[in-house]
Amino acid sequence: MGESPARKMLDMDESALLRGLLFGGGTVVFVTLVAVGWALVLLFRRRDGARPTAASGLTSLRLRADVLLVRADEAVKAADDELGFAFAQFGEERTREFHATLATARTQLNAAFRLQQSLDDAFPESVQKQREWTLQIAALCESAIAALGNQDRDFAELRGVEVAAPVRLDDVRRGIQSTTDRLPAAEATIASLRADYNAALTASLDSAIVDATSLIAAATEHADSASASVSPSGVNAVAEVVRRAEDEVHRANVRLDAVDKRAAELAEASVALSSLIASTRDDLSEARAQRDAAPGPDESRAIGAAISAVDDALASTDAKNPIDSLETIGTAVARLDAALASARSQRERIEHATIALTGTVATVSAQVSDVRAFITVGGRRVGADARTRLAAAERELAAAEAAGADPVEALDAARRALTHVRDADALARFDAQR
């Protein structure tokens, strides 16, 4: 059956209403839909928009890479010209490193240009790949620029040294003369020391004059060689030769300084020995009294044995060998100190330590100098153990010499230093013989 007139009328009214909303009131619907869509876009942008993408900053990276490419290209061209000048001035040996650096920089620049060409290809890579290549270009260019810049600075400094070579050469000539003038006095000092002291104490000076004379001759030879190569234009290649001459003059003076230092050390040791002998004899009188007044036989025997050791040490004193004599007496006095420790007041201990300290410090100082000189001559043959013991001795000696130190503590430090320096000497001589 067909629809009723009332139903048809209702359908017509619904259709008319829909058409009215879409066309007659369409503006309202459209605005509403747009607003909803824009809200959804903002929502997803808030969630994902803060995340960087491969394209983020790519434009600025490309601009920076382009600038670096230009700078690197100019740096390589400038370095190529500079290498030519440096080769003409300093020769192949002095410019070998510069040549290798330039070759590496040129290789890096070519690699950067190939990457740039790939970026400019008609068929571009992904954004991620473009970013990677751009960063590689920048890194290659920066590395080349930095390496060439270092070489440029090095040769600028070298040219400054070469320009100043004539002035340094004059200083070397004066140094050679002043060192030569020191030789007669050093020879006289060594002769006097040999007459006054045991040969073992002057053995380190046996070659001092020969060594200094040889070094002066070598310095003179290098100075003459440099003089022949100095150009009035200031373009010289003699800095290394002048440096060798300077080093040889310095080493010659070090050898002559050792003569003066040894003379001062032995004179100080002789004075210290005389003082120690006098004070030790006074200590013996006190020690005998303490022995007789000891509270028990054990204490009396300990003090008596220490007294005998000191008597033996004094009897073996050798004025020609104050270093060993100071050590021998000092060791015996240390034993006496231990035996009298319970009987001696703190004041007396400090007074005695103050007197004993001078001799012990003189002994250690002289032995430290000997071992240091032995290690210097032995060079790399002397290993770390000997050097470590010597450093420990030097630290303890410095503590013993510190102003205001407790004399008792300072004496203990000096005696520890003596132990360390003996160990250092034994180890150094063992290494030198291997």
Q: How many CA atoms within 13 Å lie on the side-chain side of 175? A: 26
Per-residue confidence at 197, pLDDT binned at 50, 70, 90? very high
Same domain, 253 and 199: yes
Mean pLDDT of 366-378: 86
Residue 208, domain extent:
165-259
Mean pLDDT score, 71-96: 80
Where do we find the tokens 């050679």?
Answer: 176
Q: Which two tokens stand for residue 329?
A: 């007496």
Q: Which of 227-241, 342-356, 416-430 has the highest mean pLDDT?
A: 416-430
Highest mean pLDDT: which of 37-51, 219-233, 263-277, 354-368?
263-277
Between 241 and 192, name the one with better pLDDT: 192
Q: pLDDT value at position 407?
A: 85
CA distance 378 to 375: 5
pLDDT level of residue 161 (50, 70, 90 thresholds): low
Residue listed under structure tokens 């009298």: 340
Q: What pLDDT is attached to residue 208? A: 93
Residues 196 and 311 both lie in one domain:
no
In a domain, 201, yes or no: yes
Instruction: Provide the CATH number for the domain around residue 123.
Output: 1.20.140
- Clarify whether residues 140 and 170 are in a common domain: no
The identity of residue 244, as a single letter, is: R
Query: For the residues 281-298, what does the mean pLDDT come to?
Result: 80
Percent of the chain with pLDDT over 90: 34
**Domain co-membership, 296 together with 386:** yes
Which backbone phi and psi does 321 adopt, to 5 degrees? -130, 70
Q: Are residues 235 and 292 in the same domain?
A: no
In angstroms, the CA 381 to CA 433 distance is 9
Rounded alpha-carbon distances, angstroms, from residue 274 to 202, 310, 330: 20, 15, 13
Alpha carbon of residue 327 to chain centroid: 36
Does residue 87 carry a pLDDT above 90?
no
Domain final residue pick, 135, 163, 191? 163
249 Cβ neighbours under 8 A, 6+ residues apart: 172, 175, 176, 179, 215, 216, 219
In this predicted structure, the answer to whether residue 6 has a pLDDT above a threshold of 90 is no
What angle separates helix 127-163 from helix 58-119, to the nearest 10 degrees? Answer: 90
Residue 14 located in a structural domain: no
Residue 121 pLDDT > 70, yes or no? yes
Q: Which two three-digit tokens encode residue 202?
A: 């002057």
User: 295 and 387 share a domain?
Assistant: yes
From 144, 163, 182, give the residue that closes a domain.
Answer: 163
Considering the domain boundaries, does residue 388 fall inside one?
Answer: yes
Per residue in 91-115, pLDDT tens?
A: 677 788 888 988 999 999 899 989 8
Compute the radius of gyration of the chain from its Cα atoms: 45
Q: Are residues 108 and 232 in the same domain?
A: no
Residue 9 lies in a domain: no
Q: Residue 29 in contact with residue 22, Cβ under 8 Å?
A: yes
Give yes or no for residue 20 having a pLDDT over 70. Answer: no
- Establish if 242 belongs to a structural domain: yes
- Same-domain status, 182 and 281: no
Degrees to nearest 5, angle at CA 44 with 40 and 50:
150
How far is 367 from 334, CA to CA, in rounded Å?
19
User: In which band, very low, low, confident or very high, does the pLDDT at 24 lie, cut at 50, 70 and 90?
Assistant: very low
Give yes or no: residues 208 and 251 share one domain. Answer: yes
Residue 356: Cβ-neighbour burial (10 angstroms; 0-12, 13-18, 19+): buried
Q: Which of 49-53, 116-120, 261-265 has the lowest mean pLDDT?
A: 49-53
Token reading at 271: 């004075």
Write the DSSP assignment of 347-380 as a string of letters: HHHHHHHHHHHHHHHHHHHHHHHHHHHHHHHHGG
pLDDT at 403 over 80: no
Rounded to an integer, the average pLDDT of 193-216 is: 92
- Burial (CB < 10 A; 0-12, 13-18, 19+), residue 332, is buried
pLDDT tier at 232, thresholds 50, 70, 90: low
Q: Evaluate if residue 64 carries a pLDDT over 70.
A: yes
Q: Region of 9 please: left (phi>0), alpha (psi -120 to 50) or beta.
A: alpha
Which letter does DSSP use for residue 25 in this model? S
Q: How confident is the model at residue 29 (pLDDT cuts 50, 70, 90)?
A: very low
- What was the pLDDT predicted at 22? 40
pLDDT category, 119, cuts 50, 70, 90? confident
Asked whether residue 101 falls in the same domain as residue 115, the answer is yes
Q: Are the C-beta atoms of residues 423 and 389 closer than 8 Å to each other?
A: yes
* Tokens describing residue 290: 């303490």
In a domain, 152, yes or no: yes
Helix (H) or strand (E) run with residue 55 in it: none
**Average pLDDT over all residues of the chain:** 80
pLDDT at 233 over 80: no
As a whole number of angstroms, the distance between CA 385 and CA 226 comes to: 42
| Domain presence at residue 127 | yes
Domain presence at residue 30 = no
Q: What are phi and psi of 196, to 5 degrees?
A: -95, -20
pLDDT in tens, 377-399: 777 788 899 899 999 999 999 98
Total domains in the fold of the chain: 3
| Model confidence at 291: pLDDT above 50 | yes
Residue ending a domain, among 240, 259, 278, is 259
Do 230 and 218 share a domain, yes or no?
yes
In terms of domains, do 288 and 253 share one?
no
- Helix or strand holding residue 259 (H, E): helix 239-292
Of 347, 346, 317, the residue nearest 330 (C-alpha): 317
At 379 the pLDDT is: 75
Judge contact between 233 and 277, C-beta under 8 A.
no
Selected residue with higher pLDDT from 124 and 2: 124
